[in-house]
């Protein structure tokens, strides 16, 4: 079993992440909070690269929540058909736009609990929107953050939400930057298959160099 990181090791992990990824930003392309929310919703179980290929035409066709709520569902599906789970995502996008227009006067609510009430938006997506839009002190746990957290012994939790609670408790601040750092680190260095251990600045702190679990 992976050993738990000590307090001293956790502090060093945090310091090194902030040092190596001080300007880390999402790789999703967007120009406003509405576009950000759409991109985040589409990114669930789909790569940012794929989302960025889909969204330019979608954003052009539906630049406002009003435009999206009035769009025929089949047309929305056609724009996002190369995205995973596009049928459900199209339904959620349209329903989200309707709720934004009907309950929030066409503006994206920048409050986590309110965002979570929107169709297709869970805590992870709400956190990502607020991290990007407001630099909020949240951390969102996707597959990359989950894997990195467990390989480094930062969390043994079995769910993303419980892992988020662990990371929030041990890191406390700079969570927005740490989220971006862990996503990019997991995507390009601490990969699921064939992680680049010899290039890793956290190699000396890794708890699973020989097992590559998660």
Catalytic residues: 124, 142
Q: Tokens standing for 127?
A: 């956190």
């Amino acid at each position: 079993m992976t050993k738990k990181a000590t307090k001293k090791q956790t502090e060093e992990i945090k310091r090194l992440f902030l040092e190596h990824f001080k300007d880390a930003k999402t790789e999703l392309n967007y120009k406003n909070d509405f576009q950000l929310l759409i991109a985040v919703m589409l990114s669930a179980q789909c790569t940012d690269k794929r989302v960025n290929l889909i969204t330019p035409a979608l954003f052009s066709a539906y630049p406002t929540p009003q435009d999206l709520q009035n769009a025929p569902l089949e047309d929305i599906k056609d724009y996002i058909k190369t995205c995973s789970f596009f049928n459900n995502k199209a339904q959620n996008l349209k329903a989200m736009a309707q709720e934004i227009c009907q309950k929030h006067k066409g503006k994206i609510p920048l409050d986590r609990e309110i965002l979570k009430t929107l169709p297709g938006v869970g805590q992870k997506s709400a956190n990502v929107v607020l991290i990007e839009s407001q630099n909020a002190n949240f951390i969102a746990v996707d597959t990359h953050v989950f894997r990195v957290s467990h390989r480094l012994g930062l969390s043994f939790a079995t769910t993303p939400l419980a892992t988020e609670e662990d990371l929030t408790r041990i890191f406390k601040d700079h969570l927005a930057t740490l989220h971006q750092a862990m996503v990019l680190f997991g995507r390009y260095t601490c990969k699921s298959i064939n992680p680049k251990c010899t290039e890793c600045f956290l190699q000396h702190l890794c708890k699973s160099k020989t097992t590559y679990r998660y």
